[in-house]
Each structure stands twice: as structure tokens, then as C-alpha cells.
Amino acid sequence: MKFLGNGISIKYELFGPEGAPTVVVSHSLASSLIMWAPQLPPLALKFQVLCYDTRGHGGTAAPAGKYTLDMLGDDAMALMDGLGLHKVHWVGLSMGGMIGQNIALREAGRFNSLTLCDTAAHMPPDGRASWDERIGIVSEQGMEPLADPTMERWFTAGYLAGKPSSVDAIRKQFLATAPAGYMGCCHALKTLDYLEQLPGIITPTMIIVGAEDMGTPVSASEAMQARIPNAQLVVLEEAAHLSNIEQAEGFNAAMMGFLNAQ
């Protein structure tokens, strides 16, 4: 389904019982709503689930230019408002977790709970340089040169060696991401700087991270937990950046336990 909001066409899908409490799931950079396939079965038993493609990704419009985290947050809020979903549970991984922080800090009343997965609240200066490097590569050569290095960051070596179909699906989605959308979101993410604002988040929060996540390491999650009042932290062993796929059972148990307690 498509919704016109904040000046763009946004692709979304709804699952689960209509009228139930809503969980919005927000995906990582260079993926799409397909990455939440392992979470949909348990979520949709009890919740209405809103999956959407972020600006520049999947079936959502990918306008050229630099995006901002406020822009990405506004997209999500426009979609929620358009669907009459004024208070939701938010589950965001990587970029999706950064968008969740953006909304929670600007409009605290939007969320019943906040689940931040394999994400961070601050981009150090050397990290910002790496984003500029990625932007340069994609601008000149497209997505292909970054595909394999990205899969090596997103999954552990052991998981990749098994050649699961899930990795192939994620790699295909990475390659299908519009370069303009990827670069636009890179500009947004490289400005990330919410760490010292996190004590202002009053929403019940759980943080989930893969023990072997190189991009947003456990230390980044610990820094967030230390600042968000009463935040819970779950570290999943034998998982890298896409812990929701690599350790779906453990991820789902942590997520559902937290959501059911709210």
C-alpha cells in the first residue's frame, strides 16, 4: 500500500488484528521492510504491525539530495497520523533506532515503548569520514562495491559461511536500494548526535544488540542504556549487526517479553 505524506509516496504494509495495539518496525540503512520477516509471526499474533520503507528505500520515493533525521522522523509521523495511529510501540534497528530516538526526543507522547536494536546515539568524527567515503563510492560506482563488505559487517563469519537464504535476500535488497536514497540517508546518519539528550527520553526502553556487532558495538548500546532512564539491555551472543535475523529466536523472545510487559 502507498501513502502520500511529508511530500513523498511511502510504501507500507499492515499485519495483525485491526484495533490491537500497534507496533511500528523501522528497518536499517539499505534494507527495507522485508528484513522484519522473522519478527512478523510473533508480533502479529497480538499486535497490529506497521511495516514501512524509509525514504529512499524499497517502494518509498527516493528524492535526490541530503536527508536529515528530522525529515525521516517526519515521514514516519506523517504515515502514522495518516493511518490514525497516534500512539504506538516503536521497534527500530540501526537507522530505524536512530529515527526512533529522533521522534522520542521531539514528541515523547508518540510512543508507548521504544525498542532500539543494533543502533547508536552518536557518530564520532572518524565515523563521519567513513560515511563520506561511502557516499563517494556510491556516487561514482553504485551499490555493488559496498555489498560484500556490508554483508561481512552485518552478519558473523559463521553465519555467512552457512550461506542462508536470508543473507541472499538481504544482499539483493541492498543492491536494489536507490543510490540517491542511500546517499541521502548517509547524510542524515553522519550527523547523529543524540547521546547527551537521551536522559530526556521518558518512554519505557529496551536496547538489543548483537555481541559481535562491529558497526554499532555493545559499547554504544551500553552508553545509551546508561543515559536512558531505566532502560533494559539485552546482548545476543553469536550475532552481528542484523541480530533480528541471525538470532531471530533470542531477539523475538527479548522483544516480545518487553512489549508484553508494557
Domain containing residue 205: 2-260
The SS3 assignment for 236 reads strand
Considering its fold, how many domains does the chain have in total? 1
Side by side, the strands of the sheet bearing 8-15 are 2-5, 8-15, 48-52, 22-26, 88-93, 111-117, 205-210, 232-236
Q: Which residue, chain included where needed, has cell 540517508?
A: 185
Flag whether the pTM goes above 0.95: yes
What are the pLDDT digits (tens) for 62-96? 999 999 999 999 999 999 999 999 999 999 999 99
Q: What pLDDT score does 57 carry?
A: 98
Grid coordinates in use for 167? 543473507
CATH of the domain at 151: 3.40.50.1820
- Whether residue 244 contacts residue 35, with contact meaning beta carbons closer than 8 Å, is answered with yes
3-state secondary structure of 72: helix
**Per-residue model confidence as pLDDT tens digits over 114-140:** 999 999 999 988 888 899 999 999 999
CA angle 69, 183, 25 (to 5 degrees): 50
